[in-house]
C-alpha cells in the first residue's frame, strides 16, 4: 500500500481515541515566523496604502503607478497574500494575525522570493519578513530564479516570470500541536496562502501561475531549506497581468514509488519528485468526470442566481482579504440562497464572475459535497455539487446539524453553521495517477478553494471557518461515500454571532 494511503488511515481522528492525545508542551512552541534580524532588506511597508500605516506609524502617501511589475504592486500583493493584518495582545508574545488563516494560528508557511528582473530589486533570493513587511536579502544571485526554474523541469511559466515566489513550510510549527496529522494542516495552510495570492493578483495588475511539480531536492537546495525541517510545497510565477500564458507549464506530475513510514516526514519524502521530469499516466480526458460519476437525481441550479452585477468579492478583493477573519461562533440563522450562489460561484467558477482565472494543481480530482442546514428554498440535507453548473444533486434529505457538530469534534461551529462544504477525493485513484504526491495536490487545492470560500463569505458579510480536525469516517458516513474515500477539508458557512475573537 502507498505511503499516502497508509498515512491517511493512520492520521484519522476517531471518537474512541480522540481523548488520548498528550498535552501540549507550551515551553517548546516554535515561533510562527523567521526572525530576519540584521539582514540587508528592501523596505516594502512605506509602499502600503494603509492610513495610518501600522508598520511606520505614518499617514498613507499618494502613489502613482503601483500596478504591474513595480515595487509598490509587489508590496501590496505580498501584504494581501500573507502579511500581518492584525495583532492580539497577550502575555508574553503578541499573536500576529495574517492575511491567510492557519490551523491553531501556528502559521507554518514561509515565503521566499527569487528575483530574475524586478524594478528596485537586485536579482537574488529574499525571505519575506512579515513583522516589518520587507524582503530580507538572503543571497545576491542572478541565477537563483533560473535554478528554481530548472528544478521545475523548465516550466515555461516560471521561465518567463520576472519573479518567483517559493511557498515552503516549517513542519515543526504545526507538528508541535497536531503531531503527525500536521502534514494535512501545513498543506491546507499553504493552499490558503496561494488562494490569497491568486485573488489579490489581478487587483495589483499581476498574474500568478502555480506549480507543485518540481524536484524537491533541487529547489530546497536552491533556497537553503534545512533538510527534514522545512519543505517546499509550491512555486508561484509572478508577472504582469497582460503577460500571455506560457506552455508547457505542468502543475502536477506523479512521484515514483518509494518506501516510507506513514508519518509527516515519511510522506513528504515519499512524495518527492526526482531530477528527471516524470511522465503523467494518461490524461484528464481518459477519466470519467466526477460530475458524471455521481449519478444522483438533478437538483437546484444556483449558477445565475444572485449574479446580476459584479460578484462582491471581485469588487474589492484587497479590502476583503485584509478584513477577513475566521469566524469562531455562529448564530443559528439562514444563509440566503442568492448569497450562497454568489459564494459558490466565486469559489468554483471565479473566472465567470470577475475573479479571473485562479491557480490550481490537480483540481479535477476533488469532489465537493454541500450539507445544507438553513438555506431558504433548499431543503436541509446532503448534496453533491457539480462545480461547472453549481447544480446541487440531492444525496440524502435529513436534518444534519447534530451529525455535523459531532464529526467536527463536537464544535458548536459545525452544529450552528447554515452550510457545510466538504472536499473529498478517491485517494486510491489519485495515488494511482499521481503517486504519493497526490496527497500534496489534493490538500493544496482544497486549501485554495477553502480560502475563496472564506473570502467570498466575508464579501457577503457572512462568516466562514475551515475545519481541519474532524472524525474522518463519520464524515464519510454523513455524505454516503465509502470510508475509503478521503475527506480532505471542511469549511463551515453561516451568520456570525456578533463580535468574536477570530484568527
- For residue range 42-55, list pLDDT tens digits in order: 999 999 998 899 88
pLDDT of residue 409: 96
Give the CA angle between residues 209, 448, 44 to the nearest 5°. Answer: 65
Q: What is the percentage of the chain residues whose pLDDT exceeds 70?
A: 95
Distance, in Å, from the CA atom of 38 to the CA atom of 273, rounded to the nearest integer, reads 35
- pLDDT tens per residue across span 66-93: 788 999 999 999 999 999 999 998 887 8
CA distances from 493 to 50, 69, 350, 425 (A): 29, 36, 18, 21
Measured between alpha carbons, how far is 310 from 398 in angstroms, rounded to an integer?
Answer: 34
CATH 3.30.70.270 fits 41-270, yes or no: no
Q: Report how far residue 153's alpha carbon sits from residue 426's, in angstroms, rounded to the nearest whole number.
A: 28
The answer to whether 111 and 82 are in contact (CB under 8 A) is: yes
Residue 471's pLDDT is 98
C-alpha cell at 305: 442566481
Q: Rounded distance, CA 264 to CA 389, Å?
A: 37
- Antiparallel, parallel or unpaired: β 41-43 and 84-88: unpaired
What residue ranges do the domains of the chain occupy? 41-270, 286-496
Cα 458 to Cα 439: distance, rounded to the nearest angstrom? 29
- Which of 78, 213, 188 has the alpha carbon at shortest distance from 449? 188
| Average pLDDT of span 370-397 | 94
pLDDT band at 19; cut points 50, 70, 90: confident
- HSE-up of residue 355 (Cα within 13 Å, Cβ side): 31
Cα separation of 140 and 128, whole Å? 15
Q: What percent of the chain has pLDDT over 90?
A: 81
pLDDT at 60: 81
Q: Do domains 41-270 and 286-496 have the same CATH topology?
A: yes
Q: What Cα–Cα distance (Å) separates residue 366 from each residue in 56, 240, 291, 324, 485?
A: 43, 30, 11, 25, 11
Q: What is the pLDDT of residues 87-135, one digit of tens each?
A: 998 887 889 999 999 999 999 999 999 999 999 999 999 999 999 999 9
- Give me the residue label for grid cell 489579490: 200
419-464 pLDDT, tens digit per residue, is 999 999 999 999 999 999 999 999 999 999 999 999 999 999 999 9
All residues at 6 or more sequence positions from 154 whose CB lies less than 8 Å from its CB, including other chains? none
Which pLDDT tens digit goes with each residue over 265-309? 999 999 999 999 999 876 554 444 555 555 566 777 777 776 556
The C-alpha cell at 470 is 474532524
- Residues 194 and 235: their CA atoms lie apart, in Å, by 10
DSSP state, residue 375: B
CA distance 397 to 152: 47
N- to C-terminal Cα separation, the chain: 38
User: Which residues face 165 on adjacent strands?
Assistant: 113, 236
**Using CA atoms, how far apart are residues 185 and 107, in angstroms rounded to an integer?**
10
Cα dihedral 480, 481, 486, 491 sign: negative
At 496 the three-state DSSP class reads strand
Mean pLDDT of all residues in the chain?
92
CA–CA dist 449, 348 (Å, integer): 7
Compare 24 and 282 and report the one with higher pLDDT. 24
Q: Which residues share a beta bridge with 167?
A: 111, 234
Contacts of 113 (CB under 8 A, 6+ apart): 125, 126, 127, 128, 135, 163, 164, 165, 166
- Identify whether the C-beta of residue 344 lies closer than 8 Å to the C-beta of residue 385: yes
| Distance from C-alpha of 313 to C-alpha of 459, rounded to nearest angstrom | 5
pLDDT at 136 exceeding the cut of 90 = yes
Q: Pick one of 2.60.120.260, 3.40.109.10, 3.90.79.10, 3.55.50.30 as the CATH number of 286-496.
A: 3.40.109.10
- Which has the minimum average pLDDT: 167-181, 297-311, 408-422? 297-311
Q: What is the edge-to-edge ordering of all strands in the sheet holding 230-240? A: 41-43, 134-140, 124-129, 109-115, 163-170, 230-240, 206-211
Distance CA 394, CA 364 (A): 21
**pTM assigned to the model:** 0.95
Q: Which of 21-25, 221-225, 232-236, 279-283 has the highest mean pLDDT?
A: 232-236
- Residue of 167, 152, 314, 164 whose CA lies nearest to 239: 164
Amino acid at each position: 500500500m502507498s505511503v499516502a494511503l497508509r498515512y491517511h488511515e493512520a492520521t484519522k481522528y476517531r471518537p474512541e481515541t480522540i481523548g488520548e492525545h498528550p498535552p501540549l508542551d507550551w515551553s517548546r512552541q516554535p515561533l510562527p515566523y523567521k526572525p530576519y534580524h540584521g539582514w540587508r532588506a528592501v523596505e516594502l511597508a512605506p509602499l502600503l496604502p494603509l492610513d495610518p500605516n501600522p508598520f511606520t506609524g505614518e499617514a498613507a502617501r499618494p502613489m502613482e503607478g503601483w500596478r504591474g511589475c513595480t515595487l509598490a504592486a509587489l508590496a501590496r500583493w505580498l501584504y494581501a497574500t500573507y502579511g500581518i493584518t492584525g495583532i492580539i495582545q497577550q502575555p508574553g508574545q503578541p499573536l500576529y494575525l495574517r492575511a491567510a488563516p492557519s490551523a491553531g494560528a501556528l502559521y507554518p508557511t514561509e515565503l521566499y522570493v527569487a528575483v530574475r528582473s524586478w524594478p528596485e530589486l537586485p536579482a537574488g533570493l529574499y525571505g519575506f519578513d512579515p513583522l516589518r513587511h520587507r524582503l530580507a536579502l538572503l543571497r545576491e544571485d542572478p541565477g537563483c530564479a533560473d535554478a528554481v526554474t530548472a528544478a521545475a523541469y523548465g516550466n515555461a511559466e516560471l521561465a518567463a516570470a520576472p519573479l518567483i515566489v517559493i511557498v515552503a513550510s516549517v513542519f515543526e510549527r504545526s507538528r508541535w500541536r497536531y503531531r503527525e496529522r500536521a502534514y494535512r494542516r501545513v498543506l491546507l495552510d499553504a493552499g490558503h496562502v496561494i488562494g490569497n495570492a491568486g485573488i489579490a493578483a489581478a487587483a495589483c495588475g499581476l498574474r500568478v501561475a502555480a506549480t507543485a511539480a518540481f524536484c524537491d531536492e533541487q529547489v530546497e537546495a536552491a533556497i537553503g531549506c534545512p533538510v527534514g525541517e522545512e519543505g517546499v510545497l509550491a512555486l508561484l510565477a509572478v508577472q504582469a497581468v497582460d503577460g500571455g500564458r506560457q506552455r508547457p507549464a505542468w502543475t502536477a506530475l506523479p512521484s515514483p514509488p518509494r518506501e516510507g513510514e506513514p508519518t509527516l516526514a515519511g510522506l513528504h519524502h515519499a512524495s518527492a519528485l526526482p531530477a528527471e521530469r516524470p511522465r503523467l499516466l494518461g490524461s484528464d480526458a481518459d477519466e470519467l468526470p466526477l460530475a458524471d460519476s455521481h449519478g444522483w437525481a438533478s437538483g437546484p441550479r444556483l449558477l445565475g442566481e444572485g449574479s446580476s452585477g459584479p460578484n462582491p468579492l471581485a469588487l474589492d478583493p484587497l479590502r476583503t482579504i485584509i478584513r477577513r477573519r475566521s469566524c469562531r461562533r455562529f448564530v443559528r440563522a439562514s444563509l440566503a440562497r442568492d448569497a450562497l450562489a454568489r459564494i459558490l460561484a466565486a469559489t468554483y467558477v471565479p473566472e465567470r464572475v470577475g475573479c479571473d482565472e485562479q491557480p490550481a494543481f490537480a483540481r479535477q480530482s476533488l469532489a465537493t459535497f454541500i450539507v445544507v442546514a438553513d438555506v431558504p428554498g433548499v431543503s436541509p440535507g446532503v448534496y453533491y455539487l457539480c462545480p461547472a453548473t453549481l447544480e446541487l444533486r440531492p444525496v440524502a434529505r435529513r436534518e444534519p446539524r447534530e451529525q455535523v457538530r459531532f464529526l467536527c469534534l463536537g464544535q458548536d461551529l459545525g452544529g450552528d453553521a447554515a452550510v457545510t462544504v466538504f472536499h473529498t477525493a478517491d485517494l486510491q485513484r489519485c495515488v494511482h495517477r499521481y503517486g504519493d504526491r497526490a496527497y500534496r495536490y489534493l490538500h493544496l487545492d482544497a486549501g485554495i478553494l477553502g480560502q475563496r470560500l472564506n473570502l467570498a463569505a466575508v464579501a457577503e458579510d457572512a462568516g466562514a471557518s475551515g475545519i481541519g480536525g474532524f472524525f474522518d469516517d463519520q464524515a464519510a458516513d454523513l455524505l454516503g461515500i465509502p470510508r475509503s474515500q478521503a475527506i480532505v477539508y471542511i469549511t463551515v458557512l453561516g451568520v456570525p454571532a456578533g463580535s468574536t475573537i477570530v484568527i
